[in-house]
Every structure is written in C-alpha cells, then in structure tokens.
Structure 1
C-alpha cells in the first residue's frame, strides 16, 4: 500500500480533511464538487482509496491523496471479509499526520467515520449511502458535529429523530453547480437521441434501455459511465448489431464535469432507470437521488425515470416522466409524451437545475465549518 500526494512533503495541515473510503473517487461528483467549492475558502485534502479498478490518476495531487492498494490484495481482503475494516484503518493511517488542532474532518459514510474515530477526532458526516447500522448510529450521535445528507427521509431512516434533532443538518444533493438557468431546448422529434450517463450495470436498467433502442429504430442510445463486467457482457453479447449500426453507442472517453452540460446538450432525453430485483425493498436504493438525474437537469434535458421516491424531482418539477413499467411500450410512450411537449419539460428541467444547485447548498456548510475552526 502506497500513498501519493505532493502536499505531505510540505508539512501543511489542511483546514478540511475528507476521508473517502471507496475506490472510485473520480466518479463521485459530490466529492469532487465539495473539494472544489471548499477549496475556494479552505486548504482541503481528501484521502481516497485507489485499487486501480478505475483511473483515479486524474485527481489533482495537491488536494487528493490516493492510498494505492493492488487489486489482487483488495480482492483477497473482500473474500476474507476484512476489506471494510482495512480501508478504515488505511484511511486513518494515511491521514495521521494531516490533522492539525483546527482541522475539520469530513467523514464519508460508516467507514469514513471509523477512520475519523481511529484518528481520535470528531467529524462532520457526509452520508452518501444509508443503512441501519447501530454502531454507526451510536458513533455519529456521540462524535459528529454535523450531518450532510440528501433528504429528510434519508436522515430519518438512518438516524431517527433523536440524532437529527441534536445536530446541524445540511441537505446537499448530488447535483452540479448551476450558475444560471440552463437553456430551454428544442428536440429532434423524428430521430431522438437518448442518453444514459452512470454505472453501466444490469441493475441500472441497462436491459430495458437496450430493449428500448431495439424497439425504436428512429432513436439512438448513447451509454456513458463506469463499466461493470456483467453490464458490458450484456451490451456486447446481445446487442452487437445495434452497436454496429450506430443505434447504440458506448462512449469510451471520460467527460469532466465542467464539460457535461455541453456534452449532454447533444441529446434529447436522459434515461434514469433502476431494475432493483432483490433490492426492491432496499431503502438506500429506493430513496437515492441519482446524480445522473441532476446532470440531465443541468443541461435542460428532460428525463424518463423509474417511479422511485429518490427520483421524484422529475415529477415534482415537471422535468420529465416517471414510469411504473420498463416495458418498451411504456418507455416509448413516455419519451413521445416528452417530445410532444418538449419545451414544457425542458423548462421544468432547467428550473430543477437551479433549485438543486450544489453551491447554494454548500455555502451554509462552509460557514459552519469556519465557525467550528474558530472555536476549536
């Protein structure tokens, strides 16, 4: 296990230390946006795990320290059930010299909080995944200074009323920063271009989207995002003819967040579907506000989404259609409904983008961090 960061050699203690336990930091928009905005006011350093599963080398070294672990060792740790405690210890070990007397620690999810406690520090919890973990709830109640989470429903589910009433809570969605209303767009009605931007895996509606592309020859579908082996097998093994004809495009390049509105501006409808299967009762999935949905909003792009609570902003802001069925008739019908009143739905997406603007949500958090520093 090795670390990579230029600032360590300077002996500089960060104002804000972020402990991110997952190995896909480059694909965590919330983390990247938070680092960017907080860096305008504070010295920020995020410690992140890197098993080589995705290319995290594009993270800038002054603000990110990658804890490099070989994929084979990570696989062995997972098989032995020791991966999660290991990564908490690895984060704590990596950050042990980075904590000053006024440093504010932002711990991401349960394993980030464990790392913070190994450092002996109170923390601000950034909750990206929710679940009912009694020890996690106990540690948060005793040692957290604030909670950063997506919605009141997820807060209540994870912690109940007692903790929620004791701590400052900041509601921050996995949404981009939007400085002005995205333009209201005009659709290509005869040859609509559909896009999916997210994790390419079966559970994320991949089969339904491919079936839609096959059943609607006038439309094209572009797939972009982190690749899953099972998902790519589904794409390539059974849909080679669609790829060959150009009706399905698997976009190979990484698109930086700043370029996403322009990239998404080439499409007409964003897709946000989930085939939860055995996870259909998993509150984390049911209530999770998908980052892809907010990215579509940021481009004024109407959305066809599953009828899940976490995707309710689509209906709430009239930014698209939520569907109960992922059958091709239902999906084509939803797309055509949007195309028939495209200005209305694009305007709804534009308004939703402004409503969930990331910067507006983070400013109160930054003020609170500053207050904590002054009184630490």
Structure 2
C-alpha cells in the first residue's frame, strides 16, 4: 500500500526511518520532487519527504555561511542571499522545465544531487561549497558531520560523500554551506558562426587568457535562437561571461573582444541580457520542450566534446549544446536513448560519464541511468551503502 510521510522534525524523520528499517520497508526519498524522474525508477511504495523540514537555521553574511533545514525552498534561500548581495556561486539548475515536474526545489535536494551550473568551471561544484550536514542513516540514527567553516575538516569527507548520493545513503535534514558576494557587474561576449571544433578552441583560448571568464558555452545553430534570438548575426553562438567590478569588467571585455575580432563577428550582451542567457543555459531551456525525448548530461574532456557529437550524428538523431568550456554536453536523442552507443564513444574518446536526466519510465527501467561503475568501485560503493543503509531501504534501484 502506498503511503507518504512528511515529518515536521528531524526526530520524527528518524523514527519513521527506524521503523521502516526494522521491517525492511523501502522508502522513496525526496525533497521538492522536482527531479523525481532522474535516475532509474525507485522500487518503493512508501515515500518520505523533507518538505516540512523548513527554515533558515542561521545566516552570517559577514562570514558568508548559511545553515538551513533540508526542505527549505530555494526561493527562500535566494531571497535571503539577495538582500545581502550574496549568492550560491555554483548556480544550481532548476530541473522543472526539462523534467516536466512541479513542486519547488529545495536546498537539501540541490546538495543531495550535487547540482552545479555554468560557474562550475571557476567556482567548483555544489559539494565544494558544502561545509556540514545533519542526516538520518538507514537505521534511524541522526548523524552530524562537518561545521560552519571550511578549515574545520572534521568529517569533511563524509560531507562530500553524502553530496551527490541522491538519497541512497541517508536522509539529509540540515545543510551548512558557504556563499559568495554577488558580482556587481556582468557582460557576455558572443562570437558568431564558429563550428563546434572552432568553438572548443576559442573557449580554451579565452579560459587561458587573464580575463577571468566565469562561463563558457557553445550554442550550435539548432539551439542558439532559443538563447540569443535573431537580432544578431546568423550561425552558432559561442558565449563567454565576465563578472566583477564594473570598471574591471569593461577592461576585460575589450581585451576579449580584441582577441577574437578577426576570428568571428563579435557582440556584447549587457547585464540584464547576460543574466537571462546564463539562467537559460543553466536550466537547459531548449530541451524544456514538454517531451519525454531522452536527455543526457554528458561530461567529457572539453577537447573531446565536439568529437563525441560528430561521431554520434553519424549513427543517431541528436541535438546538443555545450557548457563548461565544452566539458559538459546537454544531449537530446530524437528517438532511442542509445545508451550503449553513447557510452562506447565516450570510452573511445578517453572516458567520461553520461547520466540519463530524462526518459520515459520504460527507458529508465531498461538502461543504467548513471554511468556504470568499474567492478572495484562498485564493490566499494556496495560496502559504503551497507554501512550507511544496511537494509537497503533508501531509494532502492535509483542508481542501478
């Protein structure tokens, strides 16, 4: 029989888990359920949500740290930070568009899935900003790890381990994380008409320059109009973001424009257009299309991304764009998921990983949604899972 639990306290959550563990009842763990279709289907009829574990526990703008209960809405977190001109530097994605889900994203869900956006190439991933956690393990014990300052490394590896575990090791109840000042100015330099290989070289060159590029993406012709419209030169758009003090941004923008003036038509987007563009890149706007077409999040070496897409286009119907200097590819298959083909090509290009972000229930049930682990790594993962969740009640089946 399907049941849903929404504990209002950590103690209540721990008791629910303890009772489920005693009888071996599987639990589907969720926050705002905005990423409920990510991963393989969870084999559980009882649902445990953190949506009532809400509230900012502490926030010290001077020390740039915040603690919040796991079910606290991202809108509440971002509003509190905006009042103090601060931000989550890792730019967590809102999956509702591409997943076709409702609900509201939560801070616990962001860290449970290690969600990181375009600024990942300079600011690091979500787990790099997580300082401490409180969570309930698979037998109903409450565990605290980490602290409110980065120099306090007690339990730091445990903090990083839970971040990105997708609710399979524990139920996050509280997170402590660092925040950073919001840049006062931002612009985007746009290079038009480069093909994928030329764009990869241009982004690598820009990142090597002393201009502090904080975002580098390539938008092929098939998707560019969803991002920058038709009021600019035709062709693909390679976009480079600059942030910081206004005077510094202006000087760096001129340096960057001059570096590419002879290579492609160059334009510059102002701050408002820049904010809209990078939010749309973060949220994968072109593929928020209301379909169930398989959507992959692929991570490879930046120099290999365009080679991967060129090879795939010879054998399958695909559409794609690139973030993280080309190291992150958002790849939509037009028909079949083509998991075996995709992973074979990734391996042939030096390795990487592919995660199925969206697909029908049948597709997600038929292939590994997360990159299959090497045997030695899989054995280690199984031992870790057994220590944290000995009865295997948390999100069974989600990670294959």
TM-score normalized by structure 2?
0.28
Q: Which has the higher contact order (CA 8 A, sep 6+)?
A: 2
- More strand as a share of residues: 2
Question: When you count helix as a share of all residues, which structure comes out higher?
Answer: 1
